[in-house]
Amino acid sequence: MTDNIEIVDAQENNLKHVHVCIPKGKLVVFAGVSGSGKSSLAFGTIATESSREWQQSYPMFLRNKMPHYERPKVGEIRNLTPAIIVDQRPVGSSARSTVGTAVDVAP
């Protein structure tokens, strides 16, 4: 078993033939300037493909009732496991609410 997720030739949104190897079992942070492709890699490529692959294991009658995910523009993704997606939108009624405040770990 390989301890890395390998993404080959990612071209989603503003990604231009990106090759990346992401270690499993570690906290990984995508950092860079605005428009560098962080969200495209995390949400548009990894999260979308993980959700799409996971849904393939469901029976057809369930898949028809769920959101449909197109395969991201990527050459190949190796060793991808199901992902938990935490998006960037505020959680709760306040614009200042975050995942940290929702689970009471912010203090």
Domain ranges of the chain: 4-102
Per-residue pLDDT at 30 exceeds 80:
yes
Answer CATH for 4-102 from 3.30.110.30, 3.40.50.300, 3.40.720.10, 3.40.50.2020: 3.40.50.300
pLDDT by residue (tens digit) across 44-88?
899 999 988 888 888 988 888 888 888 899 999 999 988 887 766
- Report whether 70 contacts 37 (CB < 8 A): no
